[in-house]
Homo-oligomer: A and B are copies of this chain.
Amino acid sequence: MGEFELIRRYFFPIAEAGNTSAVLLGPGDDCAIQRVEPGRDLVFSVDTLVEGVHFPRDYDPEKLGWRSLAVAASDLAAMGADPVCFTLALTLPDADPDWLHAYAAGLASAAAQFGLSLAGGDTTRGPLTLSLQVHGTVPQGQALQRSGARAGDYVCVSGTLGEAGAALKFLGSQNPGPDEQSVLDRYHYPASRLSLGAALRGCASATVDISDGLVADLGHILEASGVAASIDIAKLPLSATLNRLVGEEAVNLAMNAGDDYELCITISPKAWEGLPEEIRSQLTIIGEVTSGEGLAITHEGQSLAPAAGGYDHFRT
């Protein structure tokens, strides 16, 4: 079976995964066609993963399939967008049928989970590189952005932090125990907080997804909004698993490790009070937005002096 037939067989079924009524023409022509409903806007983002840079060499292709779509979908979550479809630009050293089959299987699982149908793509020969562009929609004017944080807002994060970062220690582990397996799953199969993001439209003042670490990504909100913030490390949501696995290093990982793909949001106290309990239970208040610039770190209210050059003592 030729490369084109392999791709048709393994990938074209993923065109049925998501909001298929919005994709008027899927893979196979010069372009795909998407209908954006009246009163909504298109929201889109592209993410590239390179072998040896963003994932290890000889990484399990099924996990890569999930992960490559999840990290892109996470940007839709950060905008509060409802998922629609995606394109896949796949550069491969060779057309290994086993690899393609496993990659497509992981991709199909994620596509079904996130509600994203494959709309088109390009397959080329070269060093293993994946660029996925995800498309969603939002009611006009309601996209969440990085620039809306205001002094007095709470700083919140979803889920728990640091586990994907801890997983990097165990990637080569032959016989991971239950705790190790738990954090490895966080790394291999990141969730995308799509339904949480959509629920925060009209409520959160600013959002970002945590791909590069809390300090770095919250920093993007502060810069875009022209504000400062203070967060208390005693309030960071750390799982019991993470504390058992890495002990005191948990705070460092939660602050600075990437790959968690949780959301960091800012929200006014009034909007917070108005959130349904079901949404609040997915979020933890870890600090507040202040005027000025920069990020202050406290521990149970006591200032921690940043090391010279920033918060390097928190860096992993």
Contact surface of A with B, Cβ cutoff 8 Å: 24-25, 28-36, 38, 41-54, 75-76, 78-79, 81, 87, 89, 91, 119-122, 124-127, 129, 131, 133, 136, 138, 140, 143, 145-147, 207-209, 224
Which among B30, B35, B145 is the interface contact of A45 at CB below 8 angstroms?
Answer: B30
Given contacts A127-B127, A145-B25, contact A44 B30 (CB under 8 A): no
Which among B49, B52, B87, B91 is the interface contact of A44 at CB below 8 angstroms?
Answer: B87
How many Å from the CB of A217 to the closest CB on chain B? 10
Given contacts A36-B42, A42-B34, A133-B46, contact A29 B127 (CB under 8 A): no
Which among B44, B140, B146 is the interface contact of A35 at CB below 8 angstroms?
Answer: B140
Closest to A50 in B: B126
- The answer to whether B29 and A224 touch across the interface, beta carbons within 8 angstroms, is yes
How many Å from the CB of A91 to the closest CB on chain B? 6
Cβ-closest 7 pairs across A and B: A50-B126, A30-B78, A89-B131, A131-B131, A31-B45, A127-B127, A36-B36
- The answer to whether A44 and B31 touch across the interface, beta carbons within 8 angstroms, is yes
Closest to A79 in B: B31
How many Å from the CB of A94 to the closest CB on chain B? 13
How many Å from the CB of A131 to the closest CB on chain B? 4
Which among B35, B42, B47, B138 is the interface contact of A122 at CB below 8 angstroms?
Answer: B47
Contact residues in B for A127 (Cβ distance below 8 Å):
50, 126-127, 129
**Given the complex of chains A and B, what is the CA–CA distance between A30 and B224 in angstroms?**
12
